[in-house]
Amino acid sequence: MDTTETPLPEPKEGLSESPEQGTFYATTPIFYVNAEPHIGHAYTTILVDVVTRFHRLKGNDTYFLTGTDEHGEKVAKAAAAAGRTPQQYVDTISAQFRNTWNQMGIGYDEFIRTTEERHKLVVQEILQRVYDNGDIFYGEYSGLYCVGAERFVTEKELVDGKCPDSDQPPEYRSEANYFFRMENYRPWLRETIGRNPDLIRPDRYRNEVLAILREPIGDLSISRPASRVPWGIPLPWDEDHVCYVWFDALINYYSALKSQGLEGRYWPAVNHFIAKDIVKPHGVFWPTMLKAAGLPLYKHLNVHGYWLTGEQKMSKSLGNVVRPLSLQQKYGNDAFRYYLLRDMTFGLDANFGELALAERINSDLANDLGNLLNRTLGMVGRYRRGIVPAAGTLEPVDEQFIAHQTELPERVGRAFERVQFDRAMEAILDGVRATNRYISDTEPWQLAKAEESASRLDTVLNTAVEALRCASILLDPVMPAKMSELREQLGIDQIPFTLGHAAQWGLVPPGTVTRPGEPLFPRIDLKALETELSAPEEPPLKHKDEIIIDEFAKLELRVATVLSAEPHPDADKLLVLKVKLGPEERTVVAGIRQHYQPEELVGKRIVIVANLKPAKLRGVNSQGMILAAEDAEGRLAVVTFDRDMRDGSVVR
Ligand code: ME8
C-alpha cells in the first residue's frame, strides 16, 4: 500500500486518555538480527501472545505486532563477520526469528522488518515532518558511543568503564550529525508521566525514567554519515546521512499500522512490552518523538526483568543462551509457556532452570490440573458410564465452591490488567486446587456406594466438570493446544467459550459424553533429569586447521579385503595383515592387536590409505595404513562397509 497517500493525522494534544474501549494493540521489541532467538526473546514474544489471546477471549479487537530490527552498525558488523552482505544476512536471521515464532505457535498478526519499503516510507515521512517543524538541526557531536546498545552513553552511566546495557566498552566518536531537539520535550514528558502513574510500569521503571528526566537529556543525534554507516534509511532532505537505528526502529510500532491503513483502528491503544535493557529509548526517545511528530502517546510501556542463567543475563554476546525450540520440543510448547509466565514476577529478574521448569510442570500441571482431569473423567466413567449428569439440589458446600470459582475470571482479569502474570496463573491454579479439595471433601467414592446418594453424586460430578470447563477457558491463552485437548476429553469442545463463559455456571449440557484420552501432562522423572543435567558437558571438539578439497584429494583411500591376520613376531600391540586391493596384495601392519582377535578380521572389507609411503614397523614392511576410530574411553573400531563392496574401489 502506498503510505504517502494518507497524510499523518494532525497533531493532537498530549496523551489520549482512554483509547477506544475494546481495542488492544500489543508489541514486542523488534529484535536485532545479529544472532538467533533465545529464551529472552521467546519470553517477551510468548507473553505478548498470551496477553493478546486473553484480550481476544474478552471480546476485544486485538492486534499483535512483532518483527526484526535490521539496520545499524551492530547488524552491519555482524554481517561482515559472517562474510555476507547486510541484506543477505538480515534475510537469513529475520527468517529464523519468524520460523521460530511459527514453530512455537505464536499468533502474531504482523511481522515487520525495518528493511521493508513500507517501513522506510513512514520513517522518512515522520523525519520530514519533524524537520519541517524545526525540531531537527545540524551540529557537531563528540562523545562515547556504544555499538552494542547502539547509542551514545555518558561518562556517568558507565559501569567499570562499560556501557550498562551491553556490558561493552564504548568508543569515542566525533562527527557532524543531525539532532532532534529532544530536550525541548523534557518538561512535557515529565509532566505527562507524573500525571499518568501507570503509563510506564511497574513503578521501578517509571521512577527510572523520571530520574533520567530530572536532569537535561540533551538533544538526540538522529543521523550517521552514510560514508561511515551506509546501512540505514537515508534522510529525506540529505542523502549523505542515514537515520540513526533507534529513531528508525521505534517507528516500526506505527509504520506497521500506517502501511496497512490500520492506525486509526489501533493507535494509540498500544501496549509495548520490553525488557529493562531498552527502557531509555522507549521511555524517553519514543514519547518525545511521537510528540514532535504530532502523534498521541502509547497507552502503556510494560517492562519486564531479565531471564538469568546462573545469575547472569542471558545474552547473545555472553553466549549463555538457552534455545527456546529445544525446550519447547522436550517439554511441550504449552507447558513451557506456562512455566515462563508462572515463574517470572513481571518487572523482576528470574533465574532460568530446566529442573525448575520440570518441577513446575509436575506440581501444577501433572499433579494439580492433570490429576483433576483424570480423576473426574475416571469417576464419570466408573459411576455414570462416561456421561456427565445434571446437578441435583445444591448444598452450601457446593454454593460456596461455585461462588469462589465464578469470581476467578474477575481476579485473573485484574491480575492481567496489572501485568501480574504470575499471580494470574496462581489464581487459576488456586481454583484447580480448590476443585481437588472439593472432591476430597465431598468423597464421591463414598456417595457411589449407596443408591440414596445418587443425586448428591450427580451434583459433585457435574460441579467438577463445570470447574474444569472454566479452568480450561482461563488457561486457554497460555496453553491453547492443551486446553482444547482437555475440552475434547470432557466432550465439551463444541461449546463456545469467552471469558464471560468462565464466570457462568451450568453450561455443560447434561448428557455430554466424555472421551478420556492420554494424560495431558505426563509426569517428568526428576531423578533421571537431575542425572542428565549433572552429567559433565562434553568438551568442545578440537579441530585441525581447515584444508581445501585439493588437499584431501591427495589421499588415496581404497577398499581392501583382509586375507589373513597374524600377531607381529616382535611387538605385542601389532597385527600383520595381508590384504587384497583388487589385483594387488599388500602387507599392512596395524596397532590393533589389543582390540581384535586376528581371526575376527579375516574376510572384512576395510579402508586402506593406499598411497602412504611404506615404512618398516619392528622389522616388517607396512605398505599402507588402515582406518579406524577410537573413542574417549579408548575403544577402537576399524572402518567397514554397510554393504558388499568390491576391493580396490576408491573411497572418497
Ligand atoms: O534491543 N531476559 O533488540 P534485542 C528477558 N532491536 N528478555 C530478554 C533477554 C533476557 N535475558 N534478552 C533479550 C533490541 N530479551 C532492539 C529493540 S525496539 C524498537 C528495538 C528480550 O534483540 C527483551 O524483550 O537486543 C529485550 O528488551 C529484547 O529482547 C532486546 O532485544
Task: Output the CA 275–ligand 1 centroid distance in Å.
Answer: 6
Closest by CA to 438, choosing from 376, 517, 370, is 376
Q: Flag whether pLDDT at 302 surpasses 80.
A: yes
- DSSP one-letter code for 541: P
Whether ligand 1 lies within 6 angstroms of the CB of 69 is answered as yes
Closest by CA to 40, choosing from 307, 279, 230, is 307
Nearest C-alpha to atom 9 of ligand 1 is from which residue? 40
Task: Output the CA 37–ligand 1 centroid distance in Å.
Answer: 10
Task: Output the CA 223–ligand 1 centroid distance in Å.
Answer: 23
Tell me the sheet residues that pair with 67.
112
Q: pLDDT class for 18, splitting at 50, 70, 90?
A: very low
Grid cell, residue 289, equals: 518523538
Whether ligand 1 lies within 6 angstroms of the CB of 180 is answered as no
Query: Rounded CA gap, 649 and 652, in Å?
Result: 10
Closest by CA to 317, choosing from 46, 611, 38, is 38
Please report the pLDDT score of residue 150 as a whole number: 84
Q: Flag whether pLDDT at 356 surpasses 50.
A: yes
Q: Assign 537 to helix, strand or coil.
A: coil
Q: Which residues contact 464 (CB under 8 A, 6 or more apart)?
A: 372, 376, 379, 435, 438, 439
- Length of the chain as a residue count: 652
What is the position in ligand 1's atom list of the atom closest to the CA of 149?
Answer: 1
Phi, psi of 495 (to 5 degrees): -80, 130
Q: pLDDT class for 560, splitting at 50, 70, 90?
A: very high
Q: Flag whether pLDDT at 6 surpasses 50.
A: no
Instruction: Tell me the pairing of strands 636-638 and 61-69.
Output: unpaired
Model pLDDT for residues 602-615, shown as the tens digit of each residue: 999 999 999 999 99
Helix boundaries (H) for 385-512: 396-406, 408-417, 421-442, 444-447, 454-474, 480-490
Whether ligand 1 lies within 6 angstroms of the CB of 286 is answered as no
Whether ligand 1 lies within 6 angstroms of the CB of 267 is answered as no
Ligand 1, pocket-test mutation among 122, 278, 345, most atoms within 8 A of CB: 278
What is the position in ligand 1's atom list of the atom closest to the CA of 306?
Answer: 2
Closest by CA to 256, choosing from 5, 49, 30, is 30
Ligand 1, pocket-test mutation among 28, 277, 315, 345, most atoms within 8 A of CB: 277
Whether ligand 1 lies within 6 angstroms of the CB of 332 is answered as no
Model pLDDT for residues 584-601, shown as the tens digit of each residue: 999 999 999 999 999 999
Q: Assign 606 to helix, strand or coil.
A: strand
Task: Output the CA 303–ligand 1 centroid distance in Å.
Answer: 11
Percent of the chain with pLDDT over 90: 81
Whether ligand 1 lies within 6 angstroms of the CB of 313 is answered as yes
Whether ligand 1 lies within 6 angstroms of the CB of 54 is answered as no
**Tell me, what amino acid is at 388?**
V
Query: Rounded CA gap, 335 and 470, in Å?
Result: 19
Please report the pLDDT score of residue 535 as a whole number: 78
Closest by CA to 595, choosing from 562, 631, 637, 627, is 637
Mean pLDDT over the full length of the chain = 92
Whether ligand 1 lies within 6 angstroms of the CB of 40 is answered as yes
Whether ligand 1 lies within 6 angstroms of the CB of 256 is answered as no
Whether ligand 1 lies within 6 angstroms of the CB of 624 is answered as no
Is there a cis peptide before residue 389, judged by omega within 30 degrees of 0?
no
Whether ligand 1 lies within 6 angstroms of the CB of 46 is answered as no
Please report the pLDDT score of residue 12 as a whole number: 38
Task: Output the CA 280–ligand 1 centroid distance in Å.
Answer: 13
DSSP 185-230: GHHHHHHHHHH-TTSEESHHHHHHHHHHHTS---PEE-EEETTT--
Query: Rounded CA gap, 564 and 601, in Å?
Result: 8
Task: Output the CA 239–ligand 1 centroid distance in Å.
Answer: 30
Whether ligand 1 lies within 6 angstroms of the CB of 278 is answered as yes
Whether ligand 1 lies within 6 angstroms of the CB of 93 is answered as no
Grid cell, residue 42, equals: 521467546
What is the position in ligand 1's atom list of the atom closest to the CA of 69?
Answer: 6
What is the position in ligand 1's atom list of the atom closest to the CA of 278?
Answer: 27
Closest by CA to 348, choosing from 236, 203, 217, 214, is 203
Percent of the chain with pLDDT over 70: 95
Please report the pLDDT score of residue 303 as a whole number: 98
Q: Assign 358 to helix, strand or coil.
A: helix
Nearest C-alpha to atom 12 of ligand 1 is from which residue? 40
Whether ligand 1 lies within 6 angstroms of the CB of 307 is answered as yes
**Tell me, what amino acid is at 488?**
E
Model pLDDT for residues 470-482, shown as the tens digit of each residue: 999 999 999 999 9
Q: Please, are residues 108 and 65 in contact by the beta-carbon 8 Å criterion?
A: yes
Average pLDDT over residues 169-194: 95
Task: Output the CA 273–ligand 1 centroid distance in Å.
Answer: 10
**Tell me, what amino acid is at 569?**
P
Residue 643: left (phi > 0), alpha (psi -120 to 50), or beta? Answer: beta
Query: Rounded CA gap, 273 and 250, in Å?
Result: 13
Nearest C-alpha to atom 10 of ligand 1 is from which residue? 40
Whether ligand 1 lies within 6 angstroms of the CB of 361 is answered as no
Whether ligand 1 lies within 6 angstroms of the CB of 251 is answered as no
Please report the pLDDT score of residue 312 as a whole number: 67
Grid cell, residue 583, equals: 589385483
Task: Output the CA 64–ligand 1 centroid distance in Å.
Answer: 17
Task: Output the CA 555–ligand 1 centroid distance in Å.
Answer: 49
Closest by CA to 621, choosing from 574, 584, 583, 581, is 574
Whether ligand 1 lies within 6 angstroms of the CB of 487 is answered as no
Q: Please, are residues 420 and 412 in contact by the beta-carbon 8 Å criterion?
A: no
Higher pLDDT, 536 or 558: 558
Count of CA atoms in the C-beta half-sphere (13 A) of 460: 25
Q: Please, are residues 324 and 38 in contact by the beta-carbon 8 Å criterion?
A: yes
Residue 332: left (phi > 0), alpha (psi -120 to 50), or beta? Answer: left
Q: Please, are residues 370 and 378 in contact by the beta-carbon 8 Å criterion?
A: no
Grid cell, residue 68, equals: 526484526
Whether ligand 1 lies within 6 angstroms of the CB of 41 is answered as yes
* Residue 218: Cβ within 10 Å count: 15
Task: Output the CA 277–ligand 1 centroid distance in Å.
Answer: 7
Closest by CA to 185, choosing from 321, 87, 287, 102, is 287
Q: Flag whether pLDDT at 156 surpasses 80.
A: yes
Average pLDDT over residues 255-282: 97
Is there a cis peptide before residue 202, judged by omega within 30 degrees of 0?
yes
Whether ligand 1 lies within 6 angstroms of the CB of 89 is answered as no
Whether ligand 1 lies within 6 angstroms of the CB of 277 is answered as yes
Average pLDDT over residues 106-111: 98
Whether ligand 1 lies within 6 angstroms of the CB of 86 is answered as no
Q: pLDDT class for 315, splitting at 50, 70, 90?
A: low
Q: Please, are residues 343 and 350 in contact by the beta-carbon 8 Å criterion?
A: yes
Question: Which H or E element spans position 285?
Answer: none
* Residue 414: Cβ within 10 Å count: 13
DSSP 293-346: TT-PPPSEEEEE--EEETTEE--TTTT----HHHHHHHH-HHHHHHHHHHS--T
